[in-house]
Amino acid sequence: MRLLRLFGATFSISLRRQLAFRADLAFQALTTVIGVASGLAALGIVYTQTRSLGGWGLGEAVVLLGTYQIVSGVLATFIEPNVVWFAGQVTSGKLDDVLLKPVPSIFLASLGSCAPLGLTQVAMGLAVVGAGLREMDAIPRAYNLFGWLVMLSAGIAITWASRVLLASLAFWAPAMELDVVYGAVWQFGRYPVSVYPQPVRFALTWVLPVAFVSTLPAQALVRGVGPALLLLGTAIGAASLLVVQLVWSAGLRRYTSATS
Amino acid sequence: MSAISVRDLSMTYRAPVREGGLRAAVASLVRRRYREIRAVREISFEVGPGEVVGFIGPNGAGKTTTLKMLSGILHPTDGEARVLGFVPWRREREYLRRIAMIRGSQPIGGPPELTVMDSLRFQQLIYEVQDEEFKRNLSELDEMLDLGSLLERQIRALSLGERMRSGLALALVYRPRVLFLDEPTIGLDVSAVQMIRSFVATYSRETEATVLLTSHYMADVETLCRRIVLIDHGCIAYDGDLMGLSATLSPYKLVRVAVSDGACGDWSRYGEVVESEPGRVSLRVGRQDVPAVTARVLAELSVVDLAVEEPPLESVMDRVYREGVA
């Protein structure tokens, strides 16, 4: 509850900061539109050649792209602004301030500030999901919608956990900047994992769980989801939160701050 | 019960070392050599509630490392510490709400675009300060730190002195019981230094907060602290009152003599000459020799004025820092 209020406060502070720059707002909206449009165009071109991609029809693939945009937007709004260049904070001792506050340090370090303009991506993602459903000519049943929301939440939890996990590697190897690698792997989420050949598909589901970010939620929405998968998604989401917490505490024990 | 209790606290950093040059750099990939840097070695001390203690020592002595362990930022390699009954590095919420660590080099940590008031409100939320208490504390701080004109300004536009005042307000608006002040007056001008000093004195007196303060300015320590803990090479070299410090550490006193006839002759038969000008001299004299020397001076010369002084703390510390504690 208290964390939620804190989260609200940091959001409002960040919004005040960002709204001061009107040009930024325009550019952010523009790049989001371009990004989504190019994604849709790519899908359009692929689907002139085939009616199905890894078993996914055009409408379904558009729903997936929209879902991917939503999670990407959440990542860009709430997570990235905190953890990018996290290694720098560790080596420069900037983390000291976070550690002095009577708030869970992982919360403050990974969600303590945000970039509200990233929410344009989320809004755009929602619109794309809507467009995909329209293309399919389908109105999702309430259960499917519920499944989508649960899987989406699990996907967001996994996204947060994996991003923070990557950042906390800085406690062990401060010179390693893996941000770019993460961004590259993230791009796999644009398409259903079933388009990739088997070893890659396995890796994208279980090693780098990109499948949980877009494929599985979208699947829940357009085809429904069995209770087993729903439970599995929730369990993996919860487990990832636990793991990242443990790694974070272990990392903090190694934190040596910086002089003065 | 003491507010701060430290027993055999140690911190060892492991730092990779190698010689200069490419060959050594490549070799270090295969076989890495480390040097253990023992920043703090088995120190023990106690601080009573409401005490203001000066924590002094040369650069690299381990002062900041100790403060960081006590404020929960660093895990020590060995030893124990309790502050207000809490183990600092467990960083329990109730503990962190009762302490503040303020660094003169970086008085404010938050986003620099915020105004001071916005930052204060954020502190209120983080530290769960009730609205009424917040207002009361703020108006008291305003009186002592003259915050009025600062509240509406952005932090990034503040001067260093203003930043320090705001930093103190941010750190004290939740009324911490223990304050760790790391070089609070570094880089400040004379009047800002005076203000900070009198503020810390007033705050600790009125709220009975315990203060552990490091500073390189002996004047900070002299005005604020009755007790001194001197740390050198990670070990405690002295723990006691300020007056005792120079008596213990400096085996000399300063004898200042002014004579009427201007005939000075050879001063060095009385003691080591520190300063001299016609008719006036400062001598460094061994502590136990002071009575004999003053008697001789008074008997042999026509003295106008004679004073026996403790050597200035700065010069005592300079000797200690360079030569170690005798």
Q: Do A99 and B93 touch (CB under 8 A)?
A: no
Secondary element (H or E) of residue A220: helix A215-223
B230 contacts B57 by C-beta, under 8 angstroms: yes
- Which of B97, B105, B122 is the closest to A102 by Cβ? B97
Per-residue model confidence as pLDDT tens digits over A173-229: 877 777 788 888 888 888 888 888 888 888 888 777 788 888 889 888 888 888 888
- Residues A26-51: pLDDT tens digits? 888 888 888 888 888 888 888 888 88
CATH architecture group of domain B251-309: 2-Layer Sandwich (3.30)
In the numeric block, which tokens belong to residue B131? 């609205």
B6 pLDDT band (50/70/90 cuts)? very high
Q: Name every chain B residue with its beta carbon within 8 A of the beta carbon of A253.
A: 75
CA–CA min distance A30, chain B (Å): 25
Around Cβ A91, how many Cβ atoms within 10 Å?
Answer: 15
In the beta sheet, which residues pair with residue B258?
B280, B305
Please list every residue in chain B whose beta carbon sits closer than 8 Å to the beta carbon of residue A13.
111, 114, 118, 122
Q: What are phi and psi of B260, to 5 degrees?
A: -85, -40
Alpha helices of chain B — where are they, by DSSP H? 22-30, 63-70, 93-96, 116-126, 131-145, 160-172, 190-207, 218-224, 242-249, 290-300, 313-323
What's the ipTM?
Answer: 0.78
Mean pLDDT within A80-92: 81
Asked whether the beta carbons of residue B13 and residue A100 sit closer than 8 angstroms, the reply is no
Q: In Å, how far is A241's CA from the nearest CA of chain B? A: 20
Give the CATH number of domain B4-246; options: 1.20.810.10, 3.90.1010.10, 3.40.50.200, 3.40.50.300: 3.40.50.300
CB nearest to B118's CB, from A2, A13, A97: A13
* Cα–Cα distance for residue pair A54/B316, rounded to 1 Å: 81
Chain A positions touching B74 (Cβ under 8 A) are: 255-257
Q: Please, what is the average pLDDT of chain A?
A: 86
In tens, the pLDDT along B13-40 reads 877 777 777 877 787 777 777 888 888 8
- Residue B181 φ then ψ, to 5°: -110, 115
Measured between alpha carbons, how far is B90 from B87 in angstroms, rounded to an integer? Answer: 6
By CA distance, what is B64's nearest residue in A? Answer: A260
- One fold for both B4-246 and B251-309? no
Question: What does the domain layout of chain B look like in residue ranges?
Answer: 4-246, 251-309
Residue keyed to tokens 């002014």 = B258
Report whether pLDDT(A259) > 60.
no
